Amino acid sequence: MTTNDALREEVLAAAQRSKDASRVVGLLTTSEKNTILETAAQALLNNVDDILAANQKDIETARDKGTPEALIDRLSLDDSRVAGIADGLRQVAGLPDPVGTIVRGSTLANGLKLRQVRVPMGVIGIVYEARPNVTVDAFGLALKSGNAVILRGSKSATNSNQKLVEILQQALKECDVPVDAVQLISSASHDSVTHLIQARGLVDVVIPRGGANLINAVVKNATIPTIETGTGNCHLYLHDKADLEMGIACLLNGKTRRPSVCNATETVLVDKGLGEDALQQVVDALQAADVTIHSDLDGFEPATDADWRDEYLSMDIALKVVDGLDAAVDHINYWGSGHSEAIITDDVTVAQQFTDRVDAAAVYVNASTAYTDGEQYGMGAEMGISTQKLHARGPMALPELTSNKWVIWGTGQTRP
């Protein structure tokens, strides 16, 4: 047996254990799930020293490899971050349980009572990069929605993830629930990703979380259903009826608040009708905030197709002058990633046309793209932002981690 064959057997065995555990997790009551989440939260706090020691090993390895400090920051944990992760589990415990919710129902003329109810998906596979907090977040959201979860984190966070899963499994054991409700598979080889995302019949859905390369690799190679938590090439369009002061405030918030997240504004489209003075005010505001401008206008970093298409995830932005709403919508629908798009305008008719015509998971009128977030929407914690159109689109909270089934009660009806 080759090394790859052995790894495949290892991943499939883990997936089978997850499948078995999912049968138990799916039948837990809301109270039982909340108790597990509270127990796990306290366990994280009780073992913070061990978590930080494991995390320090990952940080040292990353520094030895010359990893940029921005990426090391995403990897790093401290007392406050661990406390925040534990608090996240408690927040999930406080959210409504979607399992068993009646989506719709009716009683037919023949007396059959139909109910469409939310049910767990079963086994959710998560493939993700860097951030150890995703390990715990994914566990909490999967458990509360009645699912088992099998995790494939990045090699850079191996020690952190292993320690976190060890603690979560101990909490499950204390609550007399199969520890295989959360599992971490090897990150030593990329082949483990392939085996996970092709485990048909064992893993019910896979969710990639990370950069464009990771997401594309999973989507292209998976043979099981995939929910694409997409990249965010987000635009803000300053219409010629825009309140410029408002627009600049929303632009700077979307670009500079957290440049490395998927809801950051990556392109600003300035309507030609605003005039040269307004354009200069936009440029001045961006440059004053230390944002590097890429544009097809003279005097800036020359914009390429990559500038119009890709995420910067940095203090860079693409800027283009467009001639009217049609040009703005065409640009967004051609280059955008279907994540979050915004218009700043005082014209209600134009705003409605923009929301109708722009193809994205979230479309804003007179607001920053930074709001695309499950917690900001009042949905609580989220698994990610889906940019696809089937099953889930936009912030993926607990209901989006369930499927549904039809339950029909009768009194002996037979079909004629």
The CATH number of the domain holding residue 221 is 3.40.605.10
User: Is the pLDDT at 410 greater than 80, yes or no?
Assistant: yes
Distance CA 16, CA 199 (A): 9
Q: Are both 346 and 208 inside the same structural domain?
A: no
Q: Are both 400 and 268 inside the same structural domain?
A: no
Q: Is residue 79 a part of any domain in this protein?
A: yes
Instruction: Summarize pLDDT for 66-94 with one digit per residue, the tens.
Output: 998 878 888 999 999 999 999 999 999 99
Mean pLDDT to the nearest integer, 338-357: 98
Q: Is residue 377 a part of any domain in this protein?
A: no
The number of domains in the chain is: 2
Considering the chain, what is the average pLDDT of its residues?
95
| Confidence (pTM) | 0.89
User: Is the pLDDT at 137 greater than 80, yes or no?
Assistant: yes
Q: Is the dihedral of CA 192, 197, 198, 201 positive or negative?
A: positive
User: Is the pLDDT at 331 greater than 90, yes or no?
Assistant: yes
Mean pLDDT to the nearest integer, 200-212: 92
pLDDT score of 151: 98
- pLDDT band for position 43 (50/70/90)? very high
Instruction: Summarize pLDDT for 16-35 with one digit per residue, the tens.
Output: 999 999 999 999 999 999 99
Q: Is residue 415 a part of any domain in this protein?
A: no
- pLDDT band for position 382 (50/70/90)? confident
Q: Are both 302 and 199 inside the same structural domain?
A: no
DSSP string, 102-162: EEEEEE-TTS-EEEEEEEE-SEEEEEE-S-THHHHHHHHHHHHTT-EEEEE--GGGHHHHH
Q: Are both 249 and 200 inside the same structural domain?
A: no
Under 8 Å CB-to-CB from 127, ≥6 apart: which residues? Answer: 152, 193, 196, 197, 206, 207, 208, 209, 210, 214, 218
Q: Are both 204 and 250 inside the same structural domain?
A: no
The CATH number of the domain holding residue 304 is 3.40.309.10
Percent of the chain at pLDDT > 90 equals 88
- Between 204 and 380, the more confident residue is 204
Q: Are both 288 and 224 inside the same structural domain?
A: no
Q: Is residue 414 a part of any domain in this protein?
A: no
pLDDT score of 364: 98
User: Is the pLDDT at 230 greater than 80, yes or no?
Assistant: no
Would you put residue 275 in left (φ > 0), alpha (ψ -120 to 50) or beta? left
Q: Are both 307 and 399 inside the same structural domain?
A: no
Q: Which residue shows structure tokens 């944990």?
A: 77
- pLDDT band for position 212 (50/70/90)? confident
The DSSP symbol for 261 reads S
Q: Are both 59 and 191 inside the same structural domain?
A: yes
User: Is the pLDDT at 9 greater than 90, yes or no?
Assistant: yes
Q: Are both 48 and 120 inside the same structural domain?
A: yes
DSSP string, 206-243: EEEES-HHHHHHHHHH-SS-B--B----EEEEE-TT--
Beta bridge partners of 269: 237, 320
**What is the extent of the structural domain holding 399?**
3-229+390-409
Are 250 and 236 in contact by the 8 Å Cβ rule? The answer is yes
Q: Is residue 76 a part of any domain in this protein?
A: yes
Mean pLDDT to the nearest integer, 89-108: 96
Asked which of 68-72, 117-121, 182-186, 355-359 is least confident by mean pLDDT, the reply is 68-72
pLDDT score of 68: 87
Quick one: which of 121, 168, 127, 167 has its CA closest to 148?
121
pLDDT score of 229: 82
Q: Are both 17 and 43 inside the same structural domain?
A: yes
Q: Is residue 416 a part of any domain in this protein?
A: no
Instruction: Summarize pLDDT for 164-173 with one digit per residue, the tens.
Output: 999 999 999 9
Q: Are both 151 and 290 inside the same structural domain?
A: no
Distance CA 166, CA 350 (A): 54
Q: Is residue 383 a part of any domain in this protein?
A: no
Instruction: Summarize pLDDT for 151-166 with one digit per residue, the tens.
Output: 999 999 999 999 999 9
User: Is the pLDDT at 1 greater than 90, yes or no?
Assistant: no
Q: Is residue 379 a part of any domain in this protein?
A: no
Q: Are both 221 and 340 inside the same structural domain?
A: no
